Amino acid sequence: MSTNTTLTRRTLLKKAAQTGAVAGAALVIGFDVPARAQDPDKPAGNPLKGWVKIDQNGQVTLIYSRSEMGQGVSTSLPMILADELCVDWKDIRVEHASVDPFYGDQGTGGSGSVAGMWMPLRKAGASAREMFIAAAAQRWSVTPETCTAKAGAVWRGDDKLTYAELVESAARLPVPDPANVRLKSPDEFEYIGKSLPRTDVPSKVDGSAIFGLDVRVPGMVYAVVARCPVFGGKVKRFDAARTKALKGVLDVFEIPAVGEGVYTCGGVVVVAETTYIAMQGRKLLQIEWDNGPAASESSETLRRQFRKLVDSSMKVVINQGDAEAAIAAAPAEKKIEVDYELPFQAHAAMEPLNCTVHIQSDRAEAWAASQSPNLVQGVIQKLTGLPPEKIQVHTTFMGGAFGRRYQWDFPTEAAQIAKRVSKPVQLVWSREDDMMHDFYRPASYHRMSGALDADGNVAGWRHKYTSTSIAEMFDPKAAPESSEVGLTAQIPYQTKGYKLEYLPAASAVPRAWWRSVEASVVGFVMESFIDELAHAGNVDPYEFRLRLIGDNRLVKDALDPKERPLDTARLKAVLQLAADKGDWGKPLPAGHGRGIACHYSFHTYVSNLVEVSVNNGALKVHRVVSAVDVGTPVNPNGIHAQVESAIVYGLTAALKSQITIQDGHTVQSNFNQFTTLSMKETPKIDVYIVPSNVPPTGIGEPGLPPTAPALTNAIFAATGKRIRRLPVQPGDLA
Amino acid sequence: MAISFEVNGQQKTVDVDPKTPLLWVLRDTLNLTGTKYGCGIAACGACTVHIDGEPARSCSYPVSGVAGKKITTIEGLSSSRTHPVQQAWIAEQVPQCGYCQSGQIMTAVAFLKKNPSPTAAQVDDAMSNNICRCGTAQRIRAAVLRAADLMGNAKNSSTGGAL
């Protein structure tokens, strides 16, 4: 569902930009996606003026235009470019692109960087290579066909001209027609498909990597904002006398909330000489808050609302066959009706949010750990009226992002502050700010009912679904389920009747894209429920999945005919690989159990198998085996790392972390309450990649959705206890 | 108030509120940004440095407490990433976002000094109070064992590396 998700994100952002919807009533941001960024077959402009820099010493620098948040794009994207360009990998440097229309949309999300940049970068690299060859052929007065490119030089027999010697003349040559530029065949790849060391690793073992919080600009000051803990609450009045008396405090002032509802909170800003003084100054503020209507919201009120909604008649989203009648007609022992629920989740990236901005009368500069540097430029443009070319945005390394850094709330606050301070100012969010004012993964509730027919196949599958919709928050005109349904609109399991119903729940809690977005929710529900149906029919849950996926076929998205169909052959292949590598069906010690799950998201197929043991209520996760089909694997080491990462992130959400709400604010504010999987609790993870030559698909997120259900299916296999509410509570296993 | 201490072999004197956590003195006053702010309550370990050779969470350690002491930060661990722990981190391709890794490495270095030939279970115990949201624990475990190997001390042989 990646295109769906990506387009949903992109569409919503565009919509917010155009209409100033919820997210931006006072905020019309200059966000647009140039046509070339949407056309995968066109490289962006002259590669020697944007993608490749070669200095007089012959140093080759490759530019990457997506944000490095740990997912490895600062390695995988240059690899793709380097391969077609024919430069020696060990000699190259990489550099992050500034925000420039040359690169089109520089947003990083939807597991889309490698998938989206695959053809543009190959064509850019190939175009540059052909330009070097043409320049050399001219120099030698020969035809280009007699020359070849290798290791940063053009060769003709033993004669060679290095790219450094050719760059000046090559840059003046016409850029080849992208439709005709010759691309390497897979057997010619030098780097693509090889595990190469990450370009950013050395700087991340000696403290030299510059993250957003590490930006240091001469004359800079630091700022924090006191925000109302209650979502949507505002400052009623405040007294800053004690704060202003603190040595090193430079300014205290109020900034308004931007956007209707809860986009930015507004609040009281403390500017100081150091981060610590700003934080201390904030503690001394006397603020009276107007908590607003959200103060009565809690996880319990939301849960009551969820239950009321699934008890009620809901909007029918998909109705194929007659699931309701089939379920009603089935004998009691052949049907099940169960409820699942998932909580809000915080992103909790290790680097708290921050943004450094310097606004001057005729220009502005920003240093942002952002997934959407175009939006950073947009908010500054909106606030200052400066033209985009006068607003320079530097994207720094990000200490994690997981979707949180796509939002433009923290750059908006930084720009509001910088406009008044007129010095470079670094806005710092404390961990508490970060956790209490996130855009959370939606909370949701699901009533699943299903029945088996006499042959043990699924006669009916009914899913009544409610959640705090992302779409509803960003665009009230969009169908609220559009951001929530994911693979429930593209179900790979054959069922005679299928019915999906949805209604959104009202909530003041902000929510948006969390790693794997809706797939993290529907993956758990669908893959738990199919397991329950298998056990109801006394069938091995792995065999049951294979049988219900059935013959090789393409499954269309019931709601979006343009979405890429799901290829059941590829889904079965990852299931079989995970089962094989994970010893499915082999004997286990007492108290152990294996669970399996599969999911298709971001056009990538993943199956995870989890082995656990439960002894006297104590759970241990021993091993996770993951099989992935990500199309052409560009950097296998990077793919392994991303899948390991997504699995741990998914296990944390399944076993440890959640955000609960009381009196309109989060209960959790730091890592002592929002706990994560420790090393002791981290199982051995083995990742297997299905060989493939089809274009690459996303890998930052798809390892997550099948993690929680494989875990809880394993818990069921070990104990007979079915987990239907995440995270797993200690009492669930007692 | 002026407070003097040694950082990475250099004598420093700072004039700050003595309650200021060492973390912010390192980052904002001394411009040593390799030590990271993650939680401010000593829960995540991203700010780990060595004070007289012992690991400490600098976000919760007032600078007044380090007067006359020797501090080592990630920047002072080695010149050009030659410390065996850094070498092991590169070989195992540990970092993803990398933000927590300064603290992870400083924790591992202090641990290996105390226990140069650890078992995997001892590594797990020692490293379990450092948070990594990218989920690099499996690689950190392998890297700590590899570092012990590199120092010639491991009980368990480490893996062949990530690449």
Judge whether residue A38 has pLDDT over 50. Answer: no
Residue B139 has pLDDT above 50, yes or no: yes
> Is residue A652 predicted with pLDDT exceeding 60?
yes
Q: Which residues of A touch B99 (CB under 8 A)?
A: 211, 349-351, 399-400
Place of tokens 């052959």: A569
Helix axes A568-581, A541-549, angle to 10 degrees: 160
Q: pLDDT band at A476, cuts 50/70/90?
A: confident
> Please, what sign has the CA dihedral across residues A119, A67, A17, A367?
negative
Cα–Cα distance, B21 to B13 (Å, whole number): 15
How close does chain A come to B68, measured CA to CA in Å? Answer: 22
Tell me, yes or no, whether B156 lies in a domain.
no
Looking at the partner chain, which of B16, B99, B137 has a beta carbon nearest the beta carbon of A400?
B99
Does residue B64 share a domain with residue B113?
no
**Cα A20 from Cα B89, distance rounded (Å):** 46
Contact A654, A727 (CB under 8 A): yes
CB contact, 8 Å: A353 with chain B? no
Q: Between B21, B81, B140, which is nearest A679 by CB?
A: B140
Residue B94 shares a structural domain with residue B125 = yes
Q: Looking at B50, B76, B102, which one is the last position of a domain?
A: B76
Q: Which of A679, A685, A686, A707 to mutate to test the interface with B (most CBs of B within 10 A)?
A: A679
Q: Do B128 and A644 touch (CB under 8 A)?
A: no
B123 within a domain of the structure (yes/no) = yes
Nearest to A651 by CA among A632, A679, A693: A679
Give a yes or no: residue B122 inside a domain. yes
- Please give the sequence-ordered ranges of beta strands (E in DSSP) within A33-179, or none if there are none: 52-54, 60-64, 93-96, 148-150, 153-156, 159-162
Inter-helix orientation angle B84-91/B101-114, to 10°: 130
- Reported as a pLDDT band with limits 50, 70 and 90, residue A616 is very high
Asked if B136 is an interface residue toward chain A (Cβ–Cβ < 8 A), one would say yes
Q: Is the pLDDT of residue A41 over 90?
A: no
Chain B residues with CB inside 8 Å of A69's CB? Answer: 97
Across all residues in chain B, what is the average pLDDT? 95
List, for residues A574-602, the tens digit of each pLDDT value.
999 999 999 999 999 999 999 999 999 99
Residue B27 sits in a domain of what CATH number? 3.10.20.30
Query: A70 and B134 in contact by Cβ < 8 A?
Result: yes
Percentage of chain A beyond pLDDT 90 is: 87
Residues B110 and B144 in one domain: yes
Q: State how many domains chain B has.
A: 2
pLDDT value, residue A46 = 86
Question: Model confidence over A219-250: pLDDT tens digits?
Answer: 999 999 999 999 999 999 999 999 999 999 99
Strands (E), A157-248: 159-162, 221-226, 234-239
Of B60, B76, B92, the last residue of a domain is B76
pLDDT in tens, A311-350: 999 999 999 999 999 999 999 999 999 999 999 999 999 9
Lowest mean pLDDT among A29-38, A483-492, B61-70: A29-38
What is the tens place of the pLDDT at every residue in B55-96?
Answer: 999 999 999 999 999 999 999 999 899 999 999 999 999 999
Question: Between B24, B90, B133, which is nearest A400 by CB?
Answer: B133
> How far is the alpha carbon of B99 from chain A, nearest alpha carbon, in Å?
5
pLDDT at B155: 54
Domains of chain A from N-terminus onward: 36-204 (3.30.365.10), 214-292+353-428 (3.30.365.10), 299-346+439-733 (3.30.365.10)
The answer to whether residue A283 neighbours chain B at the CB level (below 8 Å) is: no
Euclidean distance between CA atoms A66 and B114, whole angstroms = 42
What per-residue confidence (pLDDT) applies to B74?
Answer: 98
When pLDDT is cut at 50, 70 and 90, the band that residue A11 belongs to is low
Residue B18, domain extent = 2-76
What is residue A5's predicted lDDT score, i.e. its pLDDT? 39
Kindly list the residues from chain A whose CB atom is less than 8 angstroms away from the CB atom of residue B34. Answer: 206-208
The enclosing H or E element of A364 equals: strand A364-368
Distance CA A632, CA A634 (A): 6
Q: Which of B76, B93, B112 is the last residue of a domain?
A: B76
The arithmetic mean of pLDDT across residues A178-196, rounded, is: 95
Q: Give B88-91's long-range contacts (Cβ < 8 A, gap of 24+).
A: B88/B143, B88/B144, B88/B146, B88/B147, B88/B149, B88/B150, B88/B158, B89/A201, B89/A205, B89/B143, B89/B147, B90/A197, B90/A201, B90/A202, B90/A205, B91/B143, B91/B146, B91/B161, B91/B162, B91/B163
The whole-model pTM stands at 0.95
Q: Is residue B155 part of a domain?
A: no
Q: What is the mean pLDDT of residues B4-10?
A: 98
- Long-range contacts, stretch A139-147, CB < 8 angstroms, 24+ apart: A139/A166, A139/A169
Nearest residue of B to residue A348, measured between CA atoms: B133
Contacts of B139 in chain A (CB under 8 A): 641, 644
**A703, A650 in Cβ contact below 8 A?**
yes
Is residue B163 one of the residues assigned to a domain?
A: no
* Residue B89, both tokens: 């981190």
Same domain, residue pair B63 and B34 = yes
- pLDDT bucket at B153, cuts 50 / 70 / 90: low
